[in-house]
Structures are given as C-alpha cells and as structure tokens.
Structure 1
Amino acid sequence: DIVVGSPIANRLPAETEALIGMFVNTLAMRTQVDGEQTFTDLLGQVRQNALAAYAHQDVPLAQLLNSLTIERDISYSPLFQVLFALQNFPEIPAINLPDVQLQPLNHAPETVQVDLMLDIQQVAGAWQCHWNYNRDLFAPETIERMATLFNALLSAVIAQPDLKLAHLPVLEADKLASAAEIAQFARWNATDRPFPATMAVAQVFEQQVERDPTATALVFAGERLSYAELNTQANQLAHELIARGESAESIIPIYLTRSFGLIIAMLAINKIGAAYLPLDSNMPAERIRHMLNDCAAEIVITDSTLAAQLPTTAIELVLLDPNWQQTVDTPSHNLPPASADNIAYVMYTSGSTGQPKGVRVTQQGITRLVKNTNFMTFSPTDRFLQFGATAFDASTWEIWGALLNGAALYLYPAIPLDLALLAQFIEAQQITSIFLTAGLFHQIVDHHLASLHSLRYLLAGGDVVSVAHVERVRQSLPNTTIINGYGPTENTTFTACYCVPKTGDLGASLSIGRPIANTKIYILDPQLRPVAIGVTGQLYTSGAGLARGYLNRPDLTAKHFIDNPFSNDGSKLYATGDLARFR
C-alpha cells in the first residue's frame, strides 16, 4: 500500500489560464501493489487512481490532512514522504528583446519538502529526471543506484509489460548481491580469532586467580574483595548448591541488588554448570512469578530483606545475608570444570510483543564476548563499572569483561538513578570502561562530560546514538574510544560494534560497524539470499555467541534459530527481525 505525492497545476477553470499566481495543489496518489499483477494491470490501476484524484484536485492538501487522523511528526512529511512531479508544460519559446539576452535559469534546490522527489521533464524529445533527496537519509551513491535501477525498470516494463511485477528482472536480480559483493561479505565475516572456546567461565576466572590472587576483583560500598576471596566464597556457595541438589543445566534465579553476594552467586552457579536467572526487584510480581514457573526453579538465591518481596511460592530460599559463609559448612576448593556448552544464564526479553521468553546463553558465548575480541582490549589495570540491571544483557559485558581479564569490577550503589551522582562516581573511582544506554549516554554528555576523562572505553547502544553527542565526546575526550554496540540478547550482548574513529566525517547516522570476533552477519531477502550493498534486508547472525534458543519454546526457537544455509557444520542462523543494509 503506497502513497506518493504529486503536484498538479490546479487550473481547471479556463479563466485561470492567463492569471499569474500560485494555484498548485499536491495530490496524494494511493496505489496498492500486488507482486502477482502485471505491469499492464498496474498501469491501468494507476491511471484510474490518477483520474479519480484529478477530479478532486481543488481539495487543498491541508484540508485533507486535517480530516485524517494521522499522527504528526516534525521530522517527516505526513501521509507521504515521496513526491513525483511530471513537468508537462510546453517548452518556453525563444524570447528576443532589443539589446537583451535571455536564457533559462537551472536552479538546483538546496532544501527538500519530502524525503525523496523525482522531477521529470521532457526536453528536446528526451525525458530528464532530477532527483531531489534528503541528505540526512540518503547517500549520493544510494540515489545514483536508485536512478540506475529506475532506468533499468523502465526498460524492463517496456520490453515485457505483461510480466508479473515480482518477476521483473530488475526487481529480483538487482537487489541481490553480486559475486564480488559476496566475496566482500566473506572478508567482512572473516572474524575467527582464538579464544578459550572449550573452557568454562569459571576455568577462565580461576586462571586469573592463579595469576594474581591478591588483585582486586570487586569494589562495593568502600570494601574490596580480592580474586582469591571471591573464588573461595563462590566455591563455598557452589558446594552448598550441589548439596541442595542443584547440578549442571539447572536454572537458579538470583533475586539480589548490586552487592558482593550478587557476583558470588553468579560465579558459583556457573561453577557447577548451572544457569543463573537474574530477577530485578523493580519487576512486577506477576512477571517474576511467570519466570519462576517457566524455569521450574527449585531454589532462589536472595537475602532476608528481599525475600519478603518475592511472590509466594513453595520454592526454597538460599539467603546470602552478611557473613552467610559462616553459616555453611562446605569446602572452599575449586570444583571439577563445567562444560563451555552449559547454559550460563537465562535472560528474559522484555515481552513487549507478548509473553516474555527466556533466552538460554551458553558459557562459550560469554568467553567469545570478552576474550581476545576485536572491538576493544582488556587489561588487568582496567576498572569496569557494573551499573546496568543484571536482567539487561549489557551486564554480561560489564561483569565478565572485568573478571575474566583480571580487572576490577566496581559495583554502583543500589540507589535510584541520579545523573550527578553517577558522574561523580565515575570520576572519583577513575572508571575506565562503561556501557550506557543511548538515552543515558546523551544525558551524561549534555550535563557531565567533564567527569568522563578517566574512560578508556565508552560504549553506548540499545537505541539510536546521536552523532552530535558522539562528536562532542570525540572532541572533548581524545583518549576515550567510543563504541556503538549492537546486538540482540540471543547473540550474547554484542553482534556488531562500531569503534568511532578519532577523526573524519561520521555521516548523518552512526553505523553499527562490523561483526565482532567469532561472529558472522548476513543481510538477506525473504528467500535467504544475500542482498546487494545499499539494499535493505533482514539481519541474520551466527557464530560462537549464539544462544541455545528459548526456554520451553521449541516453536519460537525453530522459527528464529534456523539452519545455516551458508555452512555445512550444522550451525544455526538467528533471525534478528531487524532491518539493515551494508554501506
């Protein structure tokens, strides 16, 4: 269902022909296109629609818009965003005046009324096409390609007017990637890098313990916990969980605010090959009840204060109150290693389109995210900020990016958000690595940019990141690397990252970059064929970060995690549902 605007002279009465003035009105031409109809059929349909519109050309567009319940937005034209103008007035005859030379002025407009306008005029027996477009939305090469396609399309329909629209060669083949482009995609997808793919999360962490046991692992409320102390307490809790009947592939909910206990619980659960399920105290009780029932939890790790807020269930509680380790009589030595293929955590999506569904992320997905990756470097001297809700998958990068690389993880106090306090915390603790949602990134840049000088890496994502704000950071913090991170929960936090260059034009919108290490990206048409550069398709992804599907939802898993047609190793592709294009 397509609506295109088209200006018309609006001079039906004969007496208006000689009048000087602006009578032009814009008609909204609506066409419903069916791929099964022929071009001849479509042409007849458009002709009828045009004649019907001409019959009402004296109805002002503004009056039409006022009578329609269309949501208005100042960022784009209502009803239609594309304009087609056929300039069919006769050529202006030569005008000869004594001692005066006249010639037409070819004026190229510098502003646009709509996103895209095609102006066609017959000159000397040929049709001239002028493309007027919004440079914030289209690159010049995109318009050049569009013009080439349009010319090819006209040639195709002239040659085969009775061919079905869906079978027009220009609509089919020209959107598909060429052999050269497919080769380019393969180069972009050559992201394989060595990482501990066969090691469980706890194994990688225990290597850090052996390397520097006294190094600071956690900092919270003025207290510190070393790598050795964190490992010991996690081992104690892990043995306690085993004593309570938990084992590999169990799902164990955690209902704790930011604290040492929260990280201890996550590590302990992964040590036995089980999966943690983070519950947020701000979640509605019904959502928590659904998650507890869906995962068939037998225990919940919480504390005495929060336990009272949990929905009433028969689930056993493990309380991590202060000095909890003194109440358990369990060993503190390391456990036999879990498998890298074990589920590390279950994270429920927002459920904005229905009942929330649990995504099962493996331990290998975590190590792929933070070990020997290509979008940033990790150092034992780094200070990561754990600020995001643990039910939000950016926390995976925050927590394990620090603990699997020997860095310190600073836990932000469990208090309501105060932008000034957050900025003070970052500056006072000399934080080096943070992730902020796009909205929070914009706010802190607007009001507290001077507090971010300690940062080595500033990651933002979750929504569109403003180029203007990125530019301000780039100018003010030359030692900070800005990264635009993109990725669904189903591919372990990040699928692609764009490391903003220190100099150069960023364009009208920020790219999501290229796939991160051990990850592949495909942009495909509905038939799972790679589309050409500049052509929009659905983004699919594969690689070591791919989740094991949805908990108790085999139907959705089969729908979104499909067999990978580009590999014969039995791997899967995840259909993100997001539209993207290579550029």
Structure 2
Amino acid sequence: MTEDLTMTRLSPQQRQLWLAAPEGRLGRGVARVEVRGLDEARLERAVRAVALEHEVLRTDYRRVAGLRRPVHRLEEEPLKLALRELSASSEEGCDTELEMLWRSLREPRSAVEDGAPQVLLVRRGGTASTLFFSAPALGMDTAGLAFWVRKVAEAYHRGGSGEAPELQYAQVSAWQDAVVEQLAAEALEPAWETLPVLDLETPAEGPLWLPRQRVGTTLDPETSERIRTVERAEEVAAGTVPLTAWRWLLARHGADDAPLLVAVDGRSFADELGGALGPFVTSYAPRLALPAALRFRDAVRRVGLELAQTLEEALPVMQAFEEAAGRALHLPASFAFLEAPPAAGELPAGWSLDLAEADDLPGRCALRVLDRGANLELVLEHRADLLPPAAAQCLLAQMAALVSRAVAAPDSRLVELDHRGVGERRHLLEDLAAGASRPPAPTVVELWHRRVAKSPDSVALERVGAMAAGEAGSWTYSDLALGARRLAARLRALGVGTEDRVGIYTGRCAELVVAVLAVLEAGAAYVPLGLGDPPARTRRILTAAAPRLVLATERTAHRAAELGIAVETVDLATAAGAAAGASETRLEGPPRDSAAYVLFTSGSTGLPKGVVISHGALAAYLRWCGEAYPVGPGESVLLHSPESFDLVITSLLAPLAHGGRILVVPEDATGGDPLADALARTGASLLKLTPTHLQALDRLRVSDGPVPGIGMLVLGGEALSGEALRPWRRAAPDLRVINEYGPTEVTVGCIVHELPPGPPAGGAVPIGSPIPGARAYALDGDFEPVAMGNAGELYLAGEGLARGYLGQPAQTAERFLPDPHAAEPGARMYRSGDLVRWSPGRGWLHLGRADHQLKVRGMRVEPGEIEAALLRHDAVDQVVVGEHEGRLTAWIVAPGGAPPAAELEGHVAGQLPAVMVPSLWSFVDALPMAASGKVDRAALPEPGVRSRGRRYRPPATDAEMRLAVIWQEVLGLDSVGADDGFFELGGDSILSTQVVYRARQAGLGISVRQLVQHPTLSGLAAVARELVAEDDADPEIWGEAPLTPIQRWFFE
C-alpha cells in the first residue's frame, strides 16, 4: 500500500519551478515515439496499468485557500489514451501536422488549469502511428519522460501489466524536505543580492522557464576520450571537464563571478530512485571562480572539489530561492551532465523514441552534456528572445572549440586558451570587420560640379521660417554655384590654397552653405566656429587652427573682428550679380589626400583638438550617403544642427552632392521649437538628429500622430534606446529608422544599423555593421580580435579615417595606430575608446566607454578639458569631472573654502561651450584614491546640494510657482528660487523645449526665445501669458478657419 496522496505539498523541485514562472505556466514536457503495428486496445491497457502503479501520472495540482503554492491532488480515475486522426493525406502534410501538434503540446500552460499527464495516439494510416507522452513541468523531467515511455512499452509487450516502483514520488518529496530542513540552518550561504548578472545578449526580464530552442553538436571520439582521461587523472566526477570549460567561457562573456547553476539528476542519490518518474533535477550554485592564470587541469581539480563539497554540504538552490527574495530567479545560466535518455536504446522492437524534451534545467541558457558512449553530445538550450539562434550557434561552437583545445593541452593557462570557434578569427577579420571595398569615390567638389551642370535651376537651398522684407527664401544650384565661385576666386586672390584653413563664423544660414562650398572649391579646408561658443574657446581654436582668414556674415562680422583675425564677409544679396561678371572658369579640384575640413572636439589635455578630414575620406562617406539616404533629386533634408557638429555633413554636403534640397532652420528662428515648427510646415525626406533631441521633439507632439513627410529618421551622436523610438514607431510603423555610429575621427558615420519594422525591443539599439569601405574590430590588449559575444575595444579603419589631429603628433600617434590586420602596407586604425561586442544577427553592440570620455547631449566631452578650465580658478586645488545620473558633475577640492557654484559656472562658461559646464557640484576634502595611485572614480561621493551663490527667494506669484514646479521636474531639482537662472541650474536648449511644452500644459504661454531673453524664474513669469480666456462670458465664434501648423502636422 502507498500512503494517501489526496493532498500533499509540492516537492522542492516543484517549488523551484513554480517560483520561476507565474502560476507555474511552464512548457509541458513531451516525448514523441514512432510505433508500427500497434494494437490500440493493448496500448490502452498498458497506459492505464503504468498510471495505476505510478501515482505521479494520476496527479494534478489545485489551489488551497491560505497557501502560497498549490498542492498535489491524486485522481482515482486512471489515465486514458487519447486518439487523433491526421487530416493530411501526403507524407509531407502529415509531418507538418505532427510538428504543429508537437509545438502545441509544448506551449506553456498553467499547471493548475491543465496539469494532468496525457498520452495521445495519432493514427497516420497503414501500420504507422505516433505517440505523444506529455506532462507538465511540475510532473516530469526529460529523463522521466524517457522512463515513462520505456515502462509503457514494456507493459505493452507484457500484455498490459505494470510494475510498481519501490517509492512513490510523494514519498521522495517528503524525504527531500526532511534533508533540506536539516541543512537549511547552516547551509544558506550564497549572497544572492550581490552576485553579478551575466549579460549574454539582452537584459534578463520575465520568467526563467519559457519554451526554448535547442542546438547541438557531437564531440568526436578522440576529444570525448581526452575529456574522460583528464577527469580520471584529476580524480573528479564525470562531466567536470565540460563544466570547467563552460564556466570559463561564460566568464569571458560576462562577469567573472556570475553565478552558474549546476543541475544534478536526483535519481543518482539513491538506488531506489533508478527509473523513477517525476521531476528529480536538483540545482546547486557552487562558487566556481576561476583565476585567469590557473592551468586548465588545476581549474578542473578546483571545480571538481568545489562541486563535490557543494553536493555534500550545501543547500539546494530551490530552498535558496524561497529565502532570497527571488534574486536567484535571475540566475542566467546552468549546466547538466546526464546519461543519454535510457529509452533510446532499450525500447522493444517496433518502438522508437524520436525526441524527449522538458524544461527541467534552470537559467536562461542551459548546456546539457549527454554521454552517448563513445561520444559526448553538447546541447545548448536557450530562450530565443534572449539569445538569438545565430548567437546560440556561435556560443555552442565556442564551447566545442574551447573544450577540445583545453583537453588537447591541459597544462595551458585559462587565459591562453583560444575559445573562438573554428574559423571565427578569419570570419571576424574578413567577413564581419569590413564593408565592401570599392574604387575611390568622386570628391565633393566633383560631385557638386556635376550636379550644378545637370540641374542648374533646381532649388538647392530653402530657408524655413519667417524672413525679413526683401530677403530671398530659396536659391537654385546655379545661384549657389555662382556665389561660391565668386567667393572661391576671392579666396584664391587672397592667397588661400591647398592645405590652408579658413574659419567660418556665420551661424546656420544660407551664407554658411556658400562659404563651405567656396572654401572647398578653393582647395582649402574649412574650420566651423560655433557662434554659441565662448570667445575664449573660439580664440583657442583659432590659435590651434591658424586660419588664413575667417568668413562671416554682415550680422557676425563685428564679433569675428573682435577675435583679432582677418575677416571676409559673405554677402548673398550681391553674390549673383557680382558672380555674373566673374570668370566662368571652374577652379581645379583639390587633391584627394588634402584636407577638406577640420572639426575641433574636446581634448583630454585641456585644449580642443582639431580632427583633419581629407577629401578622400569625405568622398567615401558622401558616396555611401547617396546610396543609403534619401538625399537625391526631389528629396529634402533639414539643416538644424550646430555647424561645428559633424551631424551637419549629412544634412549639408550630402544633398548638395546628390541633387537634394536643403531646408535651413536658421538660428534666429522664433517659436516654441524651431525644428518642430519647420517639420510641421514642410516635412523632410531625411531628418538627422540626436536621440536626446528626438525625445524632446516627441514631447512637443500634440497627438500620437507622426510628423508628416519624414521618410527616414537617422539618429547619431549618442546611445539610442528602443524606448525612445516606441512612440514614433507606434504612430508610424513604416518609418525607416537608422542608428548611425561614428566618431569625428572616422568622418561622421562608419557603422550603421537599420531597425526592422515593428515595435523596437527595449534597451540599447545595436550600432550595426560597417559601411562599404570601413573596417571595425573589437580587439584585446594584444590587438587580437576578441571572440564573438565578448567585450573588446572598438578600433576603426578604412577610407573614412581622419589624417590625425592638427599640430598634435603625439596625440595622433596615441590614437591612430598601425593596423596589423590590413592587407595594404601602412594602413592605420583609430582607437575609439568605445567598448563593443559582436552579436551574430544584430551586429556591433555598444557597451560604453573604455576610458573616462563622456557623451553629453550628443556631444563628446573630454573631462580633462573641463578639469583644466576649473583648475584655472584660484580656489580650485583638485578636480574630477564625471557623470552622475546623466548630469555633468564636478568633484572639487578647495582648501580655502568652496566658492559659490554660480561663480564656478561663470568661470567655466567663459572658456567652454554651455554643454561643457557642470550642472552638479560636490566639494570634498580629498579625492578618493585607488591602490594604483589614480583617482578611484567608483568611490566618488554623491554630489552635494547645489549652491546657487545667492540668497534664496521663494516663488511668490502664481506664474512663478507654476513655472518653479516645471523647472524642478525638468531639471531634477528639489527647489527653485525666483531669482534662479534656468541655464545656471543646468538647463540647455533641449531642456528648454520641455519647459515650453509643460508650461503650455499648465496654461502658460512662453517661447524658447523668451526663456533665453528672460532666463530667471521671475523674469520668465513676468512675460508669460495665460492661455485660458479670462472672460468666460465671451460668445463662441463659429465658422471655418485654416488649420494651424501643428493641426496640419496631426491630420496629414
């Protein structure tokens, strides 16, 4: 007699499974068996007999009031055989139906709603039949499925009689509970809350147990025997060698101390459990830290000892789950070494077990090692949403390669073992690293001349927004060509030629376009100077660039003259007439290796550094733009970025080179957001901007409708998240979106990723693959390509590579290195400082910075330049600049007393652009130091409360109080005073658009221009207007009226 199972608690294994998925909604375990010449009545008797003897086959699961988990409930009704006929007549159709049936049976279901085991007989016609044995994950593991099949087959051949087990599953469960309770007091050691999470692909979210895909490979007999030889020599249990290799491979893919679950078949704990039915997989989490310098055979011995000790003394993980607030549910990977399913070679004649699968191994990625006698088989089970099939194949190939090389040379140190798959190094360097190589592209000057000759009367440039009386609103290709030719001739007459540099200080306007074209046609290199930069920084750039002269407009000429350099004015009003009398002879184009432009970026030495881009590098990028982006005839591109930012190259030179039209959003445009207004008026075939600006633009939309007329959205300059794109894709599912990556040193963009249609996944968007002519490597410290999935520093090479830094040979040599992987002699590569990894199927994934360089609102910022500016303040003795919660932060040692934050802000703002002024400040007695003697950035304290340097006056009027709440939300501050300035508190042009939008929602009408002109809270409140009518008695006005620009934006 067996004990009453009417109501019993779940076993430890079942509790583990229940906790891993809500309501135990797990994939059912299924075994598929092919049988010929089947006697259905005899089969039904065998199925019933086995179920009567094994109570776990007559068990379902029920909720009981007051209990967190369900209980077993024994059903007296024996298991019945279910029947099904296939509808297809062809063999191919039958196979398709059976595959669909398999998938249906494997679908996750609630164990409470559908927890009964099932045997399904599918009649295929003739003598062939297919049997499906299925049970919930709470009721059966993979080995149990195989044992169940064997017991039914044996009962069938005995004529229908079963054979009772020595122990029923409920008895085993009670025994395990007793053992667990004995160990619980002293064995719960893992500090789950502090363990790092392994990041194989995407952030771990949701339940552990979901339907998995499986890929497998079989090790050759020689490798399999070598594995057993090493295990015998080190006196460790079978499976320890592949476990050690798997542990080390996972360490190379993520945190060195990431936890790994080791699954053990509990049937091995007692002879009486051999062939038992039910879930017996027991998981442990031994500490398997492996120093890189360890020899492989020593690592095997260490893992073997740790595993043996864990199995003898430690608490199984299923109990730790209940005691650790669910932290262990996010363990990412597991390992199991098991014998091959017993039924595979032990079934009676006529029965063949094709497949048995159950989700019995924990973790999001599980390696199952099956001992098949002469060969060991590796099976990788993975969730496709976390590890795409191509990445899983790659990981399995790396595992096979690593274990093979390790047992061939077991005295090798772990760090010396190459875990790249067979052919992976060649694949990384030849197939994945490089875009297609092509002949040299025409220069921008050649493309411009061709376009002018082909379409002289097409509109090349159009101003978007209000214009002064008599001001031209558009210019044809012929107009621009004449103006540029006149100015180029004037530059040549002034002695400007190849390798000379000419500054451009015009702002974003039509004159900017003419100035750029003229400098390029004259053979010189243009140097854009930002109107918004402080004069001190502009002077430092002019000192470094040493331009022959500066081009300015009538509006900016007086500011340029104050910089102490020769100024030439660009005047479009007289350009056409003056050019008509100029020589029609076209100037000869510049050499491909000569400089086209110099862009100054933040420098680590405290001085800006000029990146020199050649005509050949620019030509390669522009050719690709013409092939990939809508910049040709009939297409329009919005020019809205600061002229000193290389985003402008795509919006300015690409359309001019390929026949498109530039829509200029001038810097003096008024309104809530000039870009949003421009889009509402005209739309654009191509819009390129930073993700930060995209989010600000999204907040200004008055509906879920998209901005009309955007054919393609190109995002660059900083990391892009799927969350930022969801509103746009939701409103416009067919909108093409490109993530473009490229530092200034590699000509705007060199790696791109086009997002597939549909809602984007959360988290970071991949940066993609190299464009034609570009090369990208993820290298280790020895300049060797790291394995797929491993983090390495990104090195870039190819046609778009800059010549180096102007006048800074030491810095050029530090960042531009010989390329050891290039076929051509003398090739160089750029050390980007970015950490990346290659993901099969997704391309390059950006992981962050390898150095301390920052990205602030899309612009690359060297902390060293900000630190150098602060150290020029008399009160500052030491300083570290970094990022805290997305805000630029300075930690300062000021022995004589902390100066007011406003004073420091003004000091930095007088030397650097606004984007480089810290918005958070922390005054410390000393900077924390690491053992190396360097500043320990991880130990820097939380920034202190921001000092404003003035007496606090609270908001008084209703408008001041409403605006104060808005500023606090946008700037992340606890309080704002009436005399505080928006930009002093860390505001910028992007955040100002959010203030305008939220003010409208709060019933206050303001513009960005008003915020700039009246930056204090009280000043802005004084000019804000109420948007709600004061007189409710005013009569309603009926009739037709034209749509506003925003309304047109919505309805179109």
TM-score tier by shorter-chain length is: 0.7 to 0.9
Question: Number of paired residues?
Answer: 505
Deviation (angstroms), 1:474: 3.3
Q: How does 1:157-556 map to 2 (within 5 A)?
A: 164=413, 166-167=415-416, 169=417, 173-175=418-420, 178-179=422-423, 182-183=426-427, 185-188=429-432, 189-193=434-438, 197=441, 199-220=442-463, 221=465, 223-310=473-560, 312-321=562-571, 323=573, 325=575, 331-333=582-584, 334-351=586-603, 354-373=606-625, 374-415=627-668, 420-448=673-701, 450-503=705-758, 506=761, 508-556=763-811
After superposition, give the CA deviation of every residue in 1:51-95 in whole Å (9 maximum; x if it has no partner).
xxxxxxxxxxxxxxxxxxxxxxxxxxxx9983467899x99988x
CA contact (8 A) 2:741 2:750 kept: yes
Q: Could you tell me how far apart the structure 2 residues matched to 1:284 and 1:474 are? A: 39
State percent identity of aligned pairs.
25
Deviation (angstroms), 1:354: 4.0
CA contact (8 A) 1:256 1:262 kept: yes
CA contact (8 A) 1:201 1:363 kept: yes
CA separation of 1:328 and 1:297: change in aligned 2, threshold 3 A: farther
Amino acid in the other structure paired with 2:591: S
Q: Determine the structure 1 residue equivalent to 2:248.
A: none
CA separation of 1:81 and 1:312: change in aligned 2, threshold 3 A: farther
CA contact (8 A) 2:483 2:575 kept: yes
The SS at the match of 1:498 is: strand
Q: Determine the structure 2 residue equivalent to 1:5.
A: none
Q: Could you tell me how far apart the structure 1 residues matched to 2:400 and 2:670 are? A: 55
Amino acid in the other structure paired with 1:548: R
Q: Could you tell me how far apart the structure 2 residues matched to 1:464 and 1:246 are? A: 39
CA contact (8 A) 1:82 1:114 kept: no
Given the alignment, which residue of 191, 213, 226 partners 1:26? 191
**Higher RCO by CA contacts (8 Å cutoff, separation 6 or greater):** 1
Q: Could you tell me how far apart the structure 1 residues matched to 2:659 and 2:690 are? A: 25
The SS at the match of 1:433 is: strand
Deviation (angstroms), 1:187: 3.5
Deviation (angstroms), 1:270: 0.2
CA contact (8 A) 1:240 1:328 kept: no
Q: Determine the structure 2 residue equivalent to 1:11.
A: none
Root-mean-square deviation over aligned CA pairs: 4.2
Amino acid in the other structure paired with 1:527: D
Deviation (angstroms), 1:186: 2.5
Q: Could you tell me how far apart the structure 1 residues matched to 2:765 and 2:392 are? A: 19
CA contact (8 A) 1:285 1:310 kept: no
CA contact (8 A) 1:375 1:499 kept: no
CA contact (8 A) 1:217 1:407 kept: yes
CA separation of 1:237 and 1:507: change in aligned 2, threshold 3 A: same
Amino acid in the other structure paired with 2:641: G
Amino acid in the other structure paired with 2:826: G
Q: Could you tell me how far apart the structure 1 residues matched to 2:776 and 2:184 are? A: 60
Q: Could you tell me how far apart the structure 2 residues matched to 1:563 and 1:324 are? A: 50
CA contact (8 A) 1:487 1:496 kept: yes
TM-score, with length taken from structure 1 = 0.74
After superposition, give the CA deviation of every residue in 1:461-485 in whole Å (9 maximum; x if it has no partner).
2222121333443343244311010
Q: Could you tell me how far apart the structure 2 residues matched to 1:367 and 1:453 are? A: 31
| Structure 2 portions without partners, runs of 5+ | 1-180, 197-254, 284-317, 340-359, 366-381, 468-472, 840-1052
Amino acid in the other structure paired with 2:545: C
CA separation of 1:582 and 1:149: change in aligned 2, threshold 3 A: closer
The SS at the match of 2:710 is: coil
> Mean Cα displacement is larger for which, 526-535 or 484-493?
526-535
Structure having the larger proportion of residues in helix = 2
Amino acid in the other structure paired with 2:567: L
Amino acid in the other structure paired with 1:139: L
After superposition, give the CA deviation of every residue in 1:89-136 in whole Å (9 maximum; x if it has no partner).
x99988x9xxxx996586998975697556789999xxx996458989
The SS at the match of 1:426 is: helix
Q: Could you tell me how far apart the structure 1 residues matched to 2:256 and 2:409 are? A: 29
| Structure 1 portions without partners, runs of 5+ | 1-15, 31-78
Amino acid in the other structure paired with 2:462: V
TM-score, with length taken from structure 2 = 0.43
Q: Which has the larger radius of gyration?
A: 2
Given the alignment, which residue of 825, 834, 838 partners 1:578? 834
Q: Could you tell me how far apart the structure 2 residues matched to 1:537 and 1:105 are? A: 37
Q: Could you tell me how far apart the structure 1 residues matched to 2:615 and 2:182 are? A: 76
CA separation of 1:505 and 1:498: change in aligned 2, threshold 3 A: same
CA contact (8 A) 2:691 2:716 kept: yes
Q: Could you tell me how far apart the structure 1 residues matched to 2:529 and 2:329 are? A: 46
Deviation (angstroms), 1:456: 1.4
> Mean Cα displacement is larger for which, 543-552 or 101-110?
101-110
